[in-house]
């Protein structure tokens, strides 16, 4: 694991973009795993900027998103499908048939989840998976207590997560109670992981994920077992990490773990 500490959100986003762009240039038909939430928006802005300014080409890229709320149509402005269109897909030259998101309106959710896993497998697996982290240590919608070997499935959202995500809805009553999410095992199959975190609200989760015991109570702690993981955190999100960091804040500091 490589923990990369950056001063602020902007620097965190640009660092993540450098990794994505490097992999994309080496493999133009890469399979990219994408995340939603507020955290990766800066990364997506940077990718859009590089597409517009430098012609960064997404025409051969295939994407798989981590998760989607159950019961929200793709037109709902809080569906993750809508989010991805607004924040990335509408602004780059990705081909519609190469985009994959869990279908929150699927009639047979179990069947859909099996199909999603199979599509990832048929695409050759995910080359690089972008991850955010919930304040309770969840990744995608794998809440505390998730099986560390889990595959794509329906999950009940915790009250904690529904409260955290209520800021995007008119009230907490509108936050769906279920989601379809890639499993922890599905995420771990990706060849590389890039986990992003910013803000003091993520400090406990980052400490537990990077330095805590490996436990399903903090699903993100599984990344300690991944062979190629980058954690990119800003000053506040990394503020509870222990270890022998330099005393002064650094524009870029890497800690190998």
Q: Which of 228, 185, 184, 224 is nearest to 206 (CA)?
A: 224
Show the binding pattern over residues 153-192: x = contacts ligand GLP (CB under 6 A), - = does not: --------x---x---------------------------
Catalytic residue among 138, 142, 226, 234: 138
| Least separation in angstroms between CB 253 and ligand GLP | 22
**221 near ligand GLP (CB under 6 A):** no
| Residue reference for tokens 């048929």 | 122
Among the candidate windows 35-43, 54-62, 87-95, 97-105, which touches ligand GLP by CB under 6 A? 35-43
Which of 39, 129, 136, 152 is the binder for ligand GLP (CB under 6 A)? 39
* Contact in structure between 218 and 253 (CB atoms under 8 Å): no
Q: Are strands 178-181 and 67-69 parallel, antiparallel or unpaired?
A: antiparallel
Distance CA 131, CA 79 (A): 18
Catalytic position from the list 15, 46, 65, 67: 67
User: x/- binding map, residues 125-154, to ligand GLP, per CB under 6 A?
Assistant: -------xxx-----xx-------------
Q: Based on C-alpha coordinates, what's the Rg of the chain?
A: 17
Give the span between the Cα atoms of 242 and 203, in whole angstroms. 11
Distance between CA atoms of residues 211 and 224, nearest Å: 9
Instruction: Show which residues are catalytic.
Output: 67, 136, 138, 143
What does the binding site for ligand GLP look like in residue numbers (CB under 6 A)? 35-39, 66-67, 132-134, 140-141, 161, 165
């Amino acid at each position: 694991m490589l923990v990369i500490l950056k001063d602020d959100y902007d620097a965190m986003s640009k660092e993540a973009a450098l990794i994505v762009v490097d992999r994309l240039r080496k493999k133009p038909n890469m399979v990219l795993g994408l995340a939603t939430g507020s955290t990766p928006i800066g990364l997506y802005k940077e990718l859009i900027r590089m597409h517009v300014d430098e012609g960064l080409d997404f025409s051969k890229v295939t994407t798989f998103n981590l998760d989607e709320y159950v019961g929200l149509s793709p037109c709902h402005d809080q569906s993750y499908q809508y989010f991805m269109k607004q924040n990335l897909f509408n602004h780059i030259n990705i081909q519609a048939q190469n985009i994959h998101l869990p279908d929150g309106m699927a009639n047979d959710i179990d069947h859909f989840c099996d199909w999603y896993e199979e599509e990832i497998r048929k695409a050759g697996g995910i080359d690089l998976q972008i991850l955010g982290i919930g304040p309770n240590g969840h990744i995608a919608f794998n809440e505390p207590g998730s099986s560390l070997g889990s595959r794509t499935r329906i999950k009940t959202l915790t009250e904690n997560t529904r409260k955290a995500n209520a800021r995007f809805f008119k009230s907490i009553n509108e936050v769906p109670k279920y989601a379809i999410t890639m499993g922890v095992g599905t995420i771990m199959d990706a060849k590389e992981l890039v986990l992003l975190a910013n803000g003091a609200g993520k400090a406990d989760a980052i400490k537990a994920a990077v330095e805590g015991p490996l436990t399903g109570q903090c699903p993100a702690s599984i990344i300690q077992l991944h062979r190629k993981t980058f954690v990119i955190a800003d000053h506040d999100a990394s503020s509870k990490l222990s270890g022998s960091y330099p005393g002064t804040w650094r524009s870029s500091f890497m800690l190998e773990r």
